[in-house]
Amino acid sequence: MNVSPIHDPRAVDLLSRVSEDISLLRQDVGHLITHTARHTLPTSAREIAASARSHLASGRLRTAEQLRSLRDHTSPQAAWIGGAVAVGLIAAGIYWFCKDGCPCRTSEEEEPLD
C-alpha cells in the first residue's frame, strides 16, 4: 500500500510519470552502455586497425617503388653529389653544435691563460 502524503492528484500523477521516466532512462542508459561495450567499441577498433594496416601497406609499397626508382636512376655523379651534401650537413651540424662552446667543456677551460 503506497499512500502518498501529497493530496493533489495532478502532482501525484506528475510524480508518478517522472518516476517512470527515470526508471526507463536508467534502463536505457544500461542498454546503451552494454551495446557500446559489446558491439560499437570492438567494431570501431577493428575498423581503425584495418585502416592502419591499409595505410602501412600502401606506405610500404610507395617506399619500395621509390627505392626501386632511385636504384634504377642513380648515376655515379648523383651519388657523389648526394654524399657531398650529406657530409656538408653533418659538418654544419657539428659546427652549429660547437660554435657556442662544447657543452662538455667547463668554464675554466674556456678562459684564456695569461
C-alpha distances out from residue 28 to 12, 84, 112, Å? 24, 69, 80
> Considering the domain boundaries, does residue 25 fall inside one?
yes
The answer to whether the CB of 12 falls within 8 A of the CB of 4 is yes
Digitized pLDDT (tens) for each residue of the chain, 114 residues in all: 455 566 888 998 999 999 999 999 999 999 999 999 999 999 999 999 999 999 999 999 998 888 888 777 756 777 788 889 999 999 998 888 787 665 555 555 555 555
> Considering the domain boundaries, does residue 56 fall inside one?
yes
> Considering the domain boundaries, does residue 47 fall inside one?
yes
Parent domain of 44? 9-74
Q: Which cell numbers hold the place of 19?
A: 518516476
> Considering the domain boundaries, does residue 54 fall inside one?
yes
pLDDT on residue 52: 92
pTM tops 0.75: no
> Considering the domain boundaries, does residue 43 fall inside one?
yes
Q: Cα(35)–Cα(41) distance, rounded to whole angstroms?
A: 9
Phi, psi of 104, rounded to the nearest 5 degrees: -85, -15
> Considering the domain boundaries, does residue 113 fall inside one?
no
> Considering the domain boundaries, does residue 105 fall inside one?
no
Count of domains for the chain: 1
C-alpha distances out from residue 36 to 3, 21, 56, 90, Å? 40, 22, 28, 53
pLDDT on residue 70: 73
> Considering the domain boundaries, does residue 84 fall inside one?
no
The contacts of residue 12 (CB under 8 Å, 6+ apart) are 4, 6
